[in-house]
Structure formats: C-alpha cells, structure tokens
Amino acid sequence: MAKKRFTPAEVTEILDLLRKEYPEATCALDFGTTFQLLISVVLSAQTTDVSVNKVTPGLFARYPDAFALAKAGQDDVIELIRTIGMYKTKSKNIIRLSQELCEKHDGIVPEDYDALVALPGVGRKTANVVLAEGFGHQRIAVDTHVFRVSNRIGLADEKDVLKTEYALMDILPEDRWTEAHHTIIFHGRRCCSARKPGCETCVIAGLCRKVGV
C-alpha cells in the first residue's frame, strides 16, 4: 500500500525543523578548490568523510591540481591514501580523472553533469555533489543516509537510489534541494540511524511516516 504523500506545507515544515536542528549541516569534506572537492568526493565512496579528510591534506600538498596529479605515479598516490577503502581503484581513478581533465578540459573541472559523469570514478552522486558544492547548483545527491531516511520518513517511496532522487526532486522545493541533502544526511547520522532510530528525540517525529521502524 502506497504511503500518503506529504502536502507542500508538511514538506516545508519538515525542512524547517531539520534546518533548525542542524544549522551547521553542510559538506563535511575539506577542500580548497573545485578540483580538490571532486577528488575528495571520489575518494569518499564507501568510506567516511572523516577518513578522507585525514588523507587529503598530504595528497593535495603534493598534488594540488589536475596537472600535478595527472603526472603522479600510482604507487605514490596509494601510499598517501592507503588508509581509506578501495585505495587501489581510487588511486587509479583519480590519476586518470586528472589526465582527462587536462586533456579535455584544460585542467578545469567542468560545470556540466554529462562531462562530469564521463570522468573515471565519477558517478551520479559525485557529479551532483560537485555541482552543488563547487558551482552552487541546487542538487539532490542520494547517498546511503539520504536513501534510507527519505524513504523511511515518507518523502519518497522507492526501492533504488535513482528513483529516490527523482522522487525527492518532485516533492521538495528546488531552491532547497542542496539544503535538504545536507540536513537529511545529518539527521541520518545523528538521529535516524539504520539499526536504532532515535524516534523519541526526533524533531520530525510528529510528521514521520515511520516506515520500516
């Protein structure tokens, strides 16, 4: 049986409550340039932002831009990012990604979704994060927290990431997509956990559909 759809007023109330609860919600990755943002997001796949932030200072000190990283040896990059998951594949991807940026985009990160996802190691979520954080576009990047929380509370009713993204784009006001991405992630980390959601302290408990709890 399909879940009852939230009204626009209810959606606004949910977003307002989450923004008030998590005013500091923003991108948790440390970066200085759009290139460094892109590399950080690629490295963050299936690992924590905290882990990525521990390795990127050393990585960016040695390879601050696409031109430098394009010339890097994979073994050298592996040594710098060894503590994060999938470091062999990621080291290969970020070197090749940098090479393609130099060959096709003059070393500059493109402000274009199709161009971004054509780069090695860059998927839909990564492209959306880069467009949102690097260029100020309104985007919904669906990670594990956004997927779980949005379907649990009833903002979406989907079984896969892509359909969840489309559902959120449909129900959320476009000028708050990026904000919602961040606050839902914070809510998933701090309250609406996978195994034991903190419903007793949840700021949106009165609106939540409590699906699967």
Q: How far apart are CA 75 and CA 97, in angstroms?
A: 16
Q: Which two tokens stand for residue 137?
A: 């576009």
Which position among 49, 65, 143, 157 bears the catalytic label?
143
Q: Which two tokens stand for residue 92?
A: 């290969």
DSSP string for residues in 149-165: HHHHHTS---SSHHHHH
Catalytic, 196? Answer no
Q: Which two tokens stand for residue 26?
A: 């923003």
Three-class DSSP category at 201: helix
Q: How far apart are CA 87 and CA 92, in angstroms?
A: 8
Q: Where are the alpha helices (DSSP H) in 30-111?
A: 34-43, 49-62, 66-70, 74-81, 87-105
End-to-end CA distance of the chain: 16
Catalytic, 143? Answer yes
> What residues act catalytically?
125, 143
